[in-house]
Chain A
Amino acid sequence: MEIMKTLLAFIVLWPLVGFLVNGLGRNYFSKKRIAFYASEQIFASFIASIIVFILIKNNGAQGDITYFNFIHIGKLIIPFAFKIDQLSAIFLLIITGIGFLIHVYSAAYMQQEEQAHYGRYFSYLNLFIFSMLLLVLGANYVIMFIGWEGVGLCSYLLIGFWFKNDNYNYAAKKAFIMNRIGDLGFLLAIFWMIAKLGTANYSDVFSNVSQLSTTDITAITILLFIGAMGKSAQIPLYTWLPDAMAGPTPVSALIHAATMVTAGIYMVARSNVLYSLSEVAQNLVAITGLVTALFAATIAIKQNDIKKVLAYSTVSQLGYMFLGLGVGAYTGAVFHVMTHAFFKALLFLGAGSVIHAMHHEQDIRKMGGLKKYLPITHITFLIGCIAISGIPPFSGFFSKDEILAAAYAHNPVYWGIGVATAGLTAFYMFRLYATTFLGSFRGTPEQAHHLHESPSAMTIPLIILAILSVVGGLVGVPESLGGHHALHQFLSPVLLTEVKYETTHSTEYMLMGLSVAIAATAIVIAIVTYSKKPQISNSTGVGKLLENKWYIDELYDAIIVKPLGSLASFLKNVIEKSGIDAAVNGVGKLVNYSSRQLRLLQNGQVGGYILLMVLGMIVIVLIWVNDGYIYRFLMNLFFAK
């Protein structure tokens, strides 16, 4: 217990110390030292996380580990406590492991930055990891919320990292504000728990769930889910994530794979006891996830920015995870978080490598034929594309299959939409792959001259992630394919298993076969279509609609942002200035006028005030002299009983 307490404290504190040291010392340390120190802190956390994982695997989960009382007022106690169990142990590994690789990669990718900004970058990166660790380790919803808003802050700081560019600043602000909308839902859920149960500790809430009415549970779970929608970019709060690619590319990898967007999945999975008791909430989660998955995939088809395609693919994949959570496949969702972390980090870092080689060109229409210039990036990126498309035996296949199988058992329509989305996914990923790496180079001769493979600090993380993307699925091989699903067994103490819907093996084979066939067909079509000629022509009709992302940003602008701005202007210029303040000034003028008549304030207001004060004192004395007679008289006059 003591060992665990110390280990966890260090896991969280190392990144925090890294943030402080690099943040304060960014003007004094060399770039090499900054990068080394920041990465080393995360590596230390990673090693400690492995130890924690092994301890948990061997000894099982432990009770809450309390450090001190964060808030203690009467009966309300909110401890600063950590909960380490199978679920948080898995997330620890993902966060610190992938986080470390992204740190290493960043050391080379950000080399162009000035020293002070280089230090600032790495300190933010460390803070990001710190917040995310707090989020998954908290033993109650308040600590989770601290990390929750912490990652929101870090994404704000990193999206707006190049703060000279105002477009980036808007993107950063948008991310923070959209997240805050979700956060309000989260907060209200916490208040609801505290009002009903007097606690926000996971263990107390889950064990006293019988004291909650169905309405309570539904309200709490839906409010929590609103928080998840913001953080995990689900409809209607998803538009910040595609804009978030304004930040440096490794940051996108961090946000999309290791931290931030997986927080919503973690939260729902963590609260699975509550969600299982509310069918309404579960359906809401599943349908939101499904719609988001399909919707984002349609947008991704028409995007030409390499990072935007990946961003929409993340929104879409997160939709899958929520579909999984909604149909009760909690393990499947966590499994997909893990495999997605591998291949999405790989894809983003690969995209970073491409952008690095192309001197900050992100438009895939100006790329092409990069296969021969960037061999390692090419092969690893291809692996990422295969993995996300769900082709066996790559990791994405197993996790996606598990979610789809559960969806089928729940409702075949869910499955149908899920498979259609999988087809779209395979299509747009290979469109991206083919346009970027196949065919002939379409950039300027200048760019062609400078094309080069990235340094090893960037390619080694790519190779590691590629290996993980290939074999990562093996921890969850289903029974029907002769596996044991090790992950399922490991997580079983924390996550409820949906036993209501069991499918036969033959059905499962059929489902797998269908989805793989559809994905494979989509891949072939995409490669054939896009490897030779890039798609330059301007789209019309539906294509244009997709290219412009269904005009959702414009819609939000028209129905929320603009009206709110007009309302604010109206309040400021009309109500405040011509209404309330004018009325007050009117009264003031009246007083001024009458006072001039009385010549009381002739010598300026100060004199008048003092005179009035003195008069007041005389009145008090008079009142007292007459034993309060005058006062009583006046009072009776005004407040006759």
Chain B
Amino acid sequence: MISLLLILIPLFTGLLTFFLKQEKTAKNFSIFSSVITLGTVCIAIFFAQNNQLLFNTQWLPALGSRFSISLDGMSKALVLLTAISFPVVFIATYTNKYKSSHSFYALMLLTQAGLMGVFMATDALLFYFFWELALIPVYFLSSIWGGEKRIAVTFKFFIYTFIGSLLMLVGILYLYFNTVVPSFQIKDLLAAKISLKEQNILFWLFFIAFAIKMPIFPLHTWQPDAYEQSPTAVTMILSGVMVKMGLFAVLRWLVPLFPESAKTYSNIVIALSVIGMIYASLIAIKQDDIKRLIAYSSIAHIGLMCATIFTQTVIGTTGVMLQMFNHGINVIGLWIVADAIEQQLGTRKFSELGGLAQKAPSLAILFVILALANIALPLTNAFVGEFLMFNSLFQYNVWVAAIAGISIILAAVYTLNMVQKILYGNTVAATEKALDTTLNINWMLIVLVVIVFALGVYPQPIIDLTKDTVNVIVQNR
């Protein structure tokens, strides 16, 4: 029952926010709502009994689809991430101005409801429903409140994800018509009678859908543009939480549904992922825009996670689950910094920045810590995840691990470039009169940095959240 609340709270407060015409009320109410959600998630994860985390009821009886959700080991970390992200994003971007801001915040909350549903749904049609619920508001958010090129960019984003969604829908329906009883429940889909050949085709239908969302090379070109053009609050959610939808779907649906195909095609998927890692890292080196650099860096990190999933080991899968959470924390932190810089100085170009450390020491320190977490320095949160994932890749193939490992070096190159060009050197025209961060941003960054170190030194709490499910996933194979 408590798991249902995690969807209902953002859903209803979101709908309500549409009617809060006062800008300030809408903002404060959204923060209030997201904090309540966070509190509920904490109670659910750390205090509730297991049976309270399930919810299962009739939904579309005619179709045999049920409203069944479960806050299990697989979804806990990501639900927690979703719950942490929204208040952090709302507070850090508090001073940003939006026209008709009530709609903006309402759509954001609807996205949150969709995300919660995606991570918890155990019914394929329900999953599809939430998948769309999470995406459609983002589409509006980007096309209405985005940058100059927002229409073209959002259109590209829309076409991509729309094609992906359609492919997934076809796949779900095909499975549905082959179940023993008409049902979209994951356990019934698992029992569906399909031949190996059908499995292989369905595997690609689903994989392309999820690969677009992650994104995996070469289906990634919508992402840097979308990240650049969306309002930063939306970008934070897109890259912090929403890219995990694709990875999560692979773990929850794709690999368990088509285990043989996942094994057969693992080398293709891993090859694409690793190519993407190196490719995106190299392109990141040449970026002159903070947002685009973070976007390409994110593609590289996601590539590692996707590759690791297909190595199918307990260690690797745990690493992926851990990293999905930590990557969300780190990348949101980096976006907050990028937004703080853009809002104050009016530029995101490295060539127009420099010497900011002299003017904004506090922002500089927090930024450096997050940048170091981005390159997985030990004792920051990302290290353990990357260590486990590379370990798993190594067991899959020594050379794959070695080649993928080059991205560790390249990550240091582009991240330190970014830090140097923004923070160090002498001040330039844009940074001459820069001020240190506002309190909101400062505090939110401190919260994230505390998480960075806490999970860097003691990652076990998140590992334990995922423990049981990881064993189940891997044993199923």
Contact surface of A with B, Cβ cutoff 8 Å:
68-74, 76, 116, 142, 145-146, 148-150, 153, 156, 160, 163-166, 169, 173, 176-177, 180-181, 183-184, 187-188, 190-192, 194-195, 564-565, 567-569, 571-572, 575-576, 580-581, 584-585, 587-588, 591-592, 605-606, 609, 612-613, 616, 620, 623-624, 628, 631-632, 635, 639, 641
Contacts and interface: CB of A to CB of B under 8 A. Distances in A.
Contact of B459 (A71, A580, A613): A71
Given A73-B315, A153-B377, A176-B416, 20 more contacts: A150-B378, A163-B357, A163-B423, A163-B425, A164-B425, A177-B412, A177-B416, A180-B408, A180-B409, A187-B387, A187-B408, A195-B391, A568-B286, A569-B286, A572-B286, A580-B218, A581-B221, A609-B136, A620-B173, A623-B173
Contacts of A564: 282, 285
Contacts of A194: 391
B158 interface: yes
Contacts of B177: 628, 631-632, 635
A153 B423 contact: no
A115 to B, nearest CB: 12
Interface string B447-477: 0000000000011100100010001000000
Nearest to A613: B132
B173 A639 contact: no
A176 B412 CA distance: 8
Contacts of A72: 460, 463
Nearest to B156: A588
A575 to B, nearest CB: 8
Contact of A576 (B173, B201, B221, B423): B221
A360 to B, nearest CB: 19
Given A73-B463, A177-B413, A585 B425 contact: no
Interface in B379-427: 379, 383-384, 387-388, 390-391, 394-395, 398, 401-402, 405-406, 408-409, 412-413, 416-417, 420, 423-426
A591 B198 CA distance: 28
Contacts of B372: 153
Contacts of A169: 420, 424-425
B155 to A, nearest CB: 6
Given A569-B286, A585-B156, A641-B197, A71 B384 contact: yes
B361 interface: yes
Contact of A609 (B139, B222, B423): B139
B390 A191 contact: yes
Contacts of B402: 184, 188
A150 B379 contact: yes
Given A153-B372, A180-B408, A146 B425 contact: no
Nearest to A635: B174
Interface in B206-243: 218, 221-222
Give the interface size class of chain B. Answer: 35 or more
B155 A187 contact: no
A150 B315 CA distance: 24
A69 B424 CA distance: 38
A113 to B, nearest CB: 14
Contacts of A605: 143, 154-155, 158
Contacts of A576: 221, 283
B180 interface: no
Contacts of A575: 279
B48 interface: no
B390 A68 contact: no
12 contacts: A73-B388, A116-B361, A146-B383, A169-B420, A173-B413, A187-B387, A195-B394, A195-B395, A612-B162, A631-B173, A635-B177, A641-B197
Contact of B222 (A156, A584, A623): A584
B358 interface: yes
Nearest to A628: B177
A159 to B, nearest CB: 12
B377 to A, nearest CB: 6
A606 B140 contact: yes
Contact of A173 (B140, B383, B420): B420
A74 B173 contact: no
Q: Which 7 A-B pairs have the closest CB atoms?
A: A191-B394, A146-B378, A163-B424, A568-B282, A581-B221, A572-B286, A568-B286
A187 B425 contact: no
B63 interface: yes
A502 B166 CA distance: 77
Interface of B: 62-63, 132, 136, 139-140, 143, 154-156, 158-160, 162, 166, 169, 173-174, 177, 195, 197-198, 201, 218, 221-222, 279, 282-283, 285-287, 314-315, 318, 355, 357-358, 361, 372, 377-379, 383-384, 387-388, 390-391, 394-395, 398, 401-402, 405-406, 408-409, 412-413, 416-417, 420, 423-426, 458-460, 463, 467, 471
B47 to A, nearest CB: 23
A164 B378 CA distance: 27
B460 A69 contact: yes
A466 B460 CA distance: 48
B315 A188 contact: no
Contacts of B156: 584-585, 588
Nearest to A152: B377
A146 B413 contact: no
A609 B141 CA distance: 15
Nearest to A191: B394
B358 A187 contact: no
Contacts of A584: 156, 160, 221-222
Given A71-B463, A180-B408, A624-B63, A76 B315 contact: yes
Contact of B62 (A142, A569, A588, A624): A624
B425 A588 contact: no
A605 B423 CA distance: 41
A382 B416 CA distance: 40
A478 B314 CA distance: 53
Contacts of B458: 68, 70
B209 to A, nearest CB: 14
Contacts of A176: 412, 416
A620 to B, nearest CB: 7
Nearest to B135: A609
Residue with the highest number of chain B CB atoms closer than 10 Å, among A74, A148, A632 = A74
A188 B283 contact: no
B409 A184 contact: yes
A71 B195 CA distance: 40
Contacts of A181: 409
Contacts of A153: 372, 377
A632 B408 CA distance: 48
Given A584-B222, A639-B201, A191 B425 contact: no
Contacts of A567: 282
A576 B225 CA distance: 12
A188 to B, nearest CB: 6
Contacts of B162: 609, 612
Contacts of A641: 195, 197-198
Contacts of A588: 155-156, 159
Contacts of B379: 146, 150
Contacts of B314: 73-74
Nearest to A166: B425
B275 to A, nearest CB: 11
A177 B156 CA distance: 37
A184 B406 contact: yes
A565 B379 CA distance: 31
Contacts of A195: 391, 394-395
Given A568-B282, A581-B221, A631-B177, A188 B159 contact: no
A628 B62 CA distance: 13
Nearest to A639: B201
Contacts of B358: 164
Contacts of B390: 187, 191
B221 A580 contact: yes
A568 B463 contact: no
A529 B174 CA distance: 89
Nearest to A591: B159
Nearest to B414: A568
